[in-house]
Structure 1
Amino acid sequence: MNYGPHAKLAELGIHLPLASPPKGAYVPAVRSGDFVYVSGQVPMENGELVANGKVGADISSEYAQVLCRQCAIAALAAIDELVGLDNVTKVIKVTGFVASSEGFTGQAGVINGASELFVEVFGEAGRHARSSVGVAELPLGSPVEIEVIAEVACQDQG
């Protein structure tokens, strides 16, 4: 049975929050042609950062993976508010950033938290190209951040 992303989210017990309001001079997501570019998403709840610190020191890689999943949910919320999740035809690219302690090299495993959610929600259309980058610091002291590019159904030409 083929059903949409909202039904799949409900099956997974996930309720999309409102898109996080920007903390600067930008918007949560922008559509250009058939693509939606989602601004960097950090793990927020009710407008507050859920955790801060460096992965591999203050934050375990397992918890960071959960936080990345939360970032992906925020990205889905931004897409939904802009164009509706039913219009997503393909997740194209995910770029994940991990505030890493010295010597931590498990960035790819951490970003799997986001990647796996996109596959759970969109099936094969959720498989995407990806970069996983270790960084010294992230905004607000966040341990993780993701950016997403998604392809969406063509806009009406009428």
Structure 2
Amino acid sequence: MTTWTQRLAELGLRLPEVARPVASYAPAVRSGDHVHTAGQLPFVEGALAATGKLGAEVTVEEGQRLARVCVLNALAAVDGVVGLDAVSGVVKVVGFVASAPGFTAQPTVLNGASELLGEVFGSAGTHARSAVGVAELPLGAPVEVELVAEVSTHS
């Protein structure tokens, strides 16, 4: 059976280092059989991959790519707590999209995150989701994603 770590490699992806918190919080916390991540920004090697708002400086396609980066950072946070291969499924994703006035394609932007979870976890990546438009995000990030993963009770 292929592990989630092997599946990432098959997709040509690797987990980044766990993003350092930008304030006073933990990147992820286990509670029973769930790991809850903090909101993850699109950090690549310690720097934001982009800044700006969807519908102004950032396109929907770029937002989808950034949402994928956020999910990889969230999975790295999960990996740091229990190991990625302990994940039995993704339960919930919440995405925040910095939105210019009138921008309403938040769900389309967050599809980047959801689709990546499906690519990695297959049916175990099917999750409930909220896509929320906001005026601003920390550090001027365009997208922020958090998730809840169910994990093996033996991890």
> Is the structural similarity TM-score above 0.5?
yes
In structure 1, how many angstroms separate the alpha carbons of the residues matched to 2:11 and 2:122? Answer: 13
**Residue 68 of structure 1: CA displacement?**
0.2
TM score, norm. by length of structure 2: 0.98
In structure 2, how many angstroms separate the alpha carbons of the residues matched to 1:35 and 1:155? Answer: 12
In structure 1, how many angstroms separate the alpha carbons of the residues matched to 2:28 and 2:102? Answer: 33
**Residue 155 of structure 1: CA displacement?**
3.5
Provide runs of 4+ in structure 1 moved above 2 Å. none
In structure 2, how many angstroms separate the alpha carbons of the residues matched to 1:18 and 1:48? Answer: 12
Match for residue 39 of structure 1? Answer: 38
In structure 2, how many angstroms separate the alpha carbons of the residues matched to 1:147 and 1:127? Answer: 15
Match for residue 120 of structure 2? Answer: 121
Q: Percent identity?
A: 56
Match for residue 78 of structure 1? Answer: 77
**Residue 114 of structure 1: CA displacement?**
0.6
Match for residue 57 of structure 1? Answer: 56
Residues 79-118 of structure 1 show CA distances to partners (whole Å, capped at 9, x for unaligned) of 1111011110110000000000111110001001110111
Identify the range of structure 1 (144-153 vs 45-54) with the bigger mean alpha-carbon deviation.
Answer: 45-54
In structure 1, how many angstroms separate the alpha carbons of the residues matched to 2:42 and 2:143? Answer: 7
Aligned length in residues: 155
In structure 2, how many angstroms separate the alpha carbons of the residues matched to 1:66 and 1:106? Answer: 14
RMSD of aligned alpha carbons? 0.9
Residues 27-47 of structure 1 show CA distances to partners (whole Å, capped at 9, x for unaligned) of 100001000000000100121
The equivalences for 1:8-47 within 5 A come to: 8-47=7-46
Structure 1's unaligned 5+ residue stretches are none
TM score, norm. by length of structure 1: 0.96
- The answer to whether the Cα contact below 8 Å between 1:28 and 1:38 also exists between their aligned partners in 2 is yes
SS at 1:22 equivalent: coil
- The answer to whether the Cα contact below 8 Å between 1:37 and 1:150 also exists between their aligned partners in 2 is yes
Amino acid in structure 2 at the alignment position of 1:52:
T
Identify the range of structure 1 (87-96 vs 2-11) with the bigger mean alpha-carbon deviation.
Answer: 2-11
Structure 2's unaligned 5+ residue stretches are none
In structure 2, how many angstroms separate the alpha carbons of the residues matched to 1:118 and 1:35? Answer: 16
